[in-house]
Structure formats: structure tokens, C-alpha cells
Amino acid sequence: MTRAIVQAGKLLDIETLDHLIICLGRFVSLKERGLGFDSRVSETISGYRLRSTRYSIQDNDDLIYAYTRSQALADCVLVDVSTMAKEAGFRFPTAITADLHARITPNMRENALGQSYEGRLWDVVLLASIAARQAGLADRCSFDVGLFEADKALPNLTHHYTLSLWVVVGPGDDGEPVITIGFLEDF
């Protein structure tokens, strides 16, 4: 979403200064984290920490727009996979992005060849769990998942793809830690 806003602003000659997520008197700068903006933050910067703002949002403050994680789950922008993620070792609520959900949902031909959504999801959350443990205290890390896909139409060729995915730990609606897994451009 951030990348789309930045690109739309460029088309209109409007510079997007930052994208802040504000929750319970703390904030995260997506620009500082290098998510959705052209310039990337050095990988040597340690994981972000929620910082206190100089102010807190009060009822009389003018909030332009807020889109919560619970709204994203209700709108199917995020898909809750916490049950399976817990089996893979995650302790916090976990969701995948809608784009990733669509990509790992097999078509009829793939189903006929033994592919299943549950099996593909297990591969994603297990490899995400391993990558997250190896990343230590970092708030995000990347990992790759192999995906077998079959063409829907004749001649029904099969292909092997490598999906480059990210695990991001951030604040939930009430500041609690939550995990999101998806493609880099989803963040």
C-alpha cells in the first residue's frame, strides 16, 4: 500500500514524506525502515523499536485515516494463519497477505497433481519460522519458498518457482506483537 501511495504521489508531483503507523503513543516510520520508498535503509541498522511520540492521539485530534489490522483481516487483505503458524513455532498472531494467499492457492490441475493449500501454507509458515529464529532480534527477515505450479490450459506444463517472502514483526491494533508474512511489495 505504501509503495502505491508513493508512486501515485510522484505522478501528481506530490512528495510522500513518510508513512507512520501510530499506536498507543508510539510510532513506526516505514520510510526509516525502507518499506515502500525508493531509498532503502542500510541492512546494518538494527531492528526497529517502537518509539514514544511527543504527543498521544486524543479524541479531539484530527486523525486523517486509520486502517487497523483487524479491519485488514475482516477485509481479507490479510488472512489469519495463526493456528498453523503456532504449530510451526510462532507465539504471536500470524497472518499472510492476500497476494501470498492467492499465490499459494492451487488451481484444479495442481490439486489433481497432489498440491494442496494446507501443504503450501505449511511450507511457508515453517520456513518463515526457521528464518525468524535465525534472524534473532531483527524485526524482519527474508526467506525463499519453492512452489510447484501447473498451467491451467493445455499443454498443462509444470513449473517450479522460488518465492522470495518476508516475515515482519510489528505492532498490532493494541501495540501487541503480530507477525505478517508476504511479498516485499505487500508491505
Which of the 8 DSSP states describes residue 81? Answer: -
Number of domains in the chain: 2
Residue where one domain finishes, among candidates 22, 42, 66: 66
Sorted by sequence, the CB contacts under 8 Å of residue 6 that are 6+ apart come out as: 16, 36, 37, 38
- Quote the pLDDT of residue 13: 76
Burial of 91 (0-12, 13-18, 19+ CB in 10 A): exposed
Residue where one domain finishes, among candidates 66, 88, 103: 66
Same domain, 89 and 57: no
Same domain, 131 and 76: yes
Q: What is the pLDDT along the chain (187 residues), one digit of tens a residue?
A: 777 777 777 777 788 888 777 766 667 777 776 667 664 333 333 333 333 344 445 555 666 667 789 999 999 999 999 999 999 999 999 999 999 999 999 988 898 889 999 999 999 999 999 999 999 888 999 999 999 898 877 777 888 999 999 999 999 988 899 999 999 988 8
Identify any residues that bridge with 21 across adjacent strands, giving them in sequence order: 28
Same domain, 42 and 93: no
How many CA within 13 A on the CB side of residue 14?
A: 9
Residue where one domain finishes, among candidates 23, 39, 66: 66
* Range of the structural domain that residue 91 is part of: 68-187
End-to-end CA distance of the chain: 7
Burial of 167 (0-12, 13-18, 19+ CB in 10 A): buried
Residue 112 CA to its chain's centroid (Å) = 30
